[in-house]
A and B are shown apart, each in its own frame.
Chain A
Amino acid sequence: MPVVHRRRAIDPERNRHLVMNTAAGHCSSAPLPGKRTYASILEKGTRTGAAALAAAGLVFFLGILPPRVSPASCAAHWSLPVSEYTATVGVRTGWGWLADLPASDSLCMAAIVLLVLLTPAGYALIAFTCWKKERVFSVIALAEIAVMLLAASGLLKSAH
């Protein structure tokens, strides 16, 4: 028996975000405020992060600055689970790499973290720009930032 999808009439009062594209006769919701700025943040941030990662990688692999953990020591222990590895090589976990800047592997971490921070930055923008007209998405963005902060805080550590 064929499935019949019932067409629902659009209630303009309940769907105030919908706008009529009169030229084509389509009904469409407006894009979320801040979408283009979000795209610009991602574009510029990704370029900067990629360039920083390549530069930090050169510093690390050419030995221009001393690392926290030497590549030789890292390669000798990377078959261990992470809890044993950190205990064996004596490296700090969490945000400990920040304290070891400008060690070359900490510079690599900084470049990667720059990339990882782009999404929370974009979400902060969405939370701000959507607050007046699209409150639901602003709340969703704030909830997402809370999840990311929780993950970044180190509170969700598992016993290996």
Chain B
Amino acid sequence: MLTRMQPSDRMKPDRARPFCARPLLPLTVAAVILACTAAAHAAGRPLVPAATDAAAHWWIWPALLFIVTFGLGIVSVMGGVGGGVLFVPIVGGLFPIHLDYVRAAGLVIALAGSLSASPTLLRRDMASLRLALPAALVASVFSAAGATVGLALPQRAVQIALGLAITGVGVLYLRARSASSNHEKNGDAFAMALGIRRVYHESSSGAQVEWSVRNTRAGFAAFSLIGFAAGMFGLGAGWANVPVLNLAMGAPLKIAMGTSSFLLSVTDTSAVWIYINHGALLPLVAVPSILGMVLGAKIGVRLMIGAKPESVRKVVICLLFIAGARSILKGIGIWS
């Protein structure tokens, strides 16, 4: 049986209260900022001086990064996507910053979001350490490999691959509108050996839900690909973790989302070290981006209650397709 997956099904943090009667206003502002930046670059009349004059007007860039990531933070939380998946293609496509630094900042953004969510998820038993630890080991080995390969490839190749990946994520969000409620109760032999068999309290129905996972080996193999893509492109990996955990392995949706969020904190840590060691983590890029995304996400959480999930979802899908197309065009040199 399949049920529609709504962003409102996603876990809501504690103490979330509506405080704004016009939730789409900040969305509109963010969209306008992004559209203006894109249009100005496309017209060859950047809103801020070109990269050659960047030294004299350096302060504009972190300010713009903060504003854009603040908007992305709002949109990403309301749309139920990780910050990194929007940050890397949009900032990598619109700012004159080499993709190496954008990917590094994207990973730290995803890491920061995951670290702040994980304590609540662990305490409420929404993230399973028994499931996450082996999956994260596989994913983090490959994320380190992906980061190493990504830094070795020429920027154009990474831009094209990133564009294709982001377009793929957009297609995934467009088509994967279903979540499996037919979750596994017994588990396969590997799951039983690891003791992946838990009960969680479903607050919406008040029921005790017994769950385990199936296809464990195939699922863990999928995490190798997810980890590689996460490290190579600097994206979080929630967009792929949740379908694997929920649809392929049969974990309940809330457990899949909670475990996925925790997994990011491990997967991204390995890849971030690779970027740090190469000198690709620039404070001028990372600090305003992290702070903007964190503040935006906090506002987004509060706005989420009054928002229309379908509208936000459409905005996110549009942003993914635009950013993916922009990345591909930039990679092949048509729209530099």
- Indicate if B229 sits at the interface (CB-CB under 8 A): no
Of A29, A50, A78, which is within 8 A of B195 by CB?
A29
Q: A14 to chain B: closest CB distance in Å?
A: 8
Residue of A nearest to B196 (CB): A29
Q: Contacts A8-B192, A72-B55, A82-B279 given: A158-B129 contact, CB under 8 Å?
A: no
Q: B330 to chain A: closest CB distance in Å?
A: 13
Q: In the complex, are the beta carbons of B270 and A28 less than 8 A apart?
A: no
- Indicate if A73 sits at the interface (CB-CB under 8 A): yes
How far apart are the CA atoms of A10 and B188 in the complex, in Å? Answer: 11
- Indicate if B149 sits at the interface (CB-CB under 8 A): yes
Of A14, A27, A31, which is within 8 A of B129 by CB?
A31
How far apart are the CA atoms of A75 and B193 in the complex, in Å? Answer: 53
Residues of A within 8 A of B218 (CB): none
Q: In the complex, are the beta carbons of A140 and B134 less than 8 A apart?
A: yes
Residue of B nearest to A138 (CB): B133
Q: In the complex, are the beta carbons of A61 and B55 less than 8 A apart?
A: no
Which of A1-20 touch B at CB < 8 Å? 5, 7-8, 10, 14-15, 17-18
Residues of A within 8 A of B276 (CB): 94, 109, 112-113, 116, 152
Q: Contacts A43-B119, A116-B269 given: A78-B155 contact, CB under 8 Å?
A: no
Residues of A within 8 A of B226 (CB): none
| B interface residues, tally (CB under 8 Å) | 78
- Indicate if B76 sits at the interface (CB-CB under 8 A): no
Of B197, B214, B269, B286, which is within 8 A of A148 by CB?
B269
Which of A140-158 touch B at CB < 8 Å? 140-141, 143-144, 147-148, 150-154, 156-158
How far apart are the CA atoms of A75 and B282 in the complex, in Å? Answer: 10
How far apart are the CA atoms of A154 and B147 in the complex, in Å? Answer: 12
Of A81, A118, A144, which is within 8 A of B136 by CB?
A144
Q: In the complex, are the beta carbons of A151 and B273 less than 8 A apart?
A: yes
Q: A123 to chain B: closest CB distance in Å?
A: 8
- Indicate if B260 sits at the interface (CB-CB under 8 A): no
Residues of A within 8 A of B115 (CB): 42, 45-46, 49, 115, 118-119
How far apart are the CA atoms of A49 and B118 in the complex, in Å? Answer: 15
- Indicate if A102 sits at the interface (CB-CB under 8 A): no
- Indicate if A128 sits at the interface (CB-CB under 8 A): no
Q: In the complex, are the beta carbons of A108 and B119 less than 8 A apart?
A: no
Q: Contacts A15-B195, A158-B148 given: A73-B55 contact, CB under 8 Å?
A: yes
Residues of B within 8 A of A112 (CB): 108, 276, 281, 283, 286, 290
Residues of A within 8 A of B193 (CB): 14, 136
Q: B297 to chain A: closest CB distance in Å?
A: 12
How far apart are the CA atoms of A128 and B319 in the complex, in Å? Answer: 44
Of B111, B140, B141, B288, which is within 8 A of A116 by CB?
B111
- Indicate if A39 sits at the interface (CB-CB under 8 A): yes
Contact with A along B192-216 (1 / 0, CB 8 A): 1111111100000000101000100
How far apart are the CA atoms of A158 and B101 in the complex, in Å? Answer: 15
- Indicate if B274 sits at the interface (CB-CB under 8 A): yes
Q: B294 to chain A: closest CB distance in Å?
A: 7
Which of A30-75 touch B at CB < 8 Å? 30-32, 35-36, 38-40, 42-43, 45-46, 49-50, 53-54, 56-57, 60-61, 67, 71-75
- Indicate if B174 sits at the interface (CB-CB under 8 A): no
How far apart are the CA atoms of A113 and B281 in the complex, in Å? Answer: 11
Q: In the complex, are the beta carbons of A78 and B133 less than 8 A apart?
A: no
Q: In the complex, are the beta carbons of B194 and A136 less than 8 A apart?
A: yes
Q: In the complex, are the beta carbons of B144 and A150 less than 8 A apart?
A: yes
Which of B23-72 touch A at CB < 8 Å? 51-52, 54-56, 58-59, 61-62
How far apart are the CA atoms of A91 and B281 in the complex, in Å? Answer: 12
Q: A12 to chain B: closest CB distance in Å?
A: 12
How far apart are the CA atoms of A137 and B134 in the complex, in Å? Answer: 8
A-B contact pairs, 28 of them (CB 8 A): A14-B193, A26-B210, A29-B198, A30-B195, A39-B119, A54-B291, A60-B287, A61-B59, A71-B59, A71-B62, A75-B58, A75-B284, A79-B97, A82-B279, A93-B278, A94-B276, A109-B281, A112-B276, A115-B108, A115-B115, A118-B265, A119-B269, A136-B194, A137-B130, A151-B269, A151-B274, A152-B277, A156-B148
- Nearest 3 pairs of A and B residues by beta carbon: A108-B283, A158-B152, A29-B195
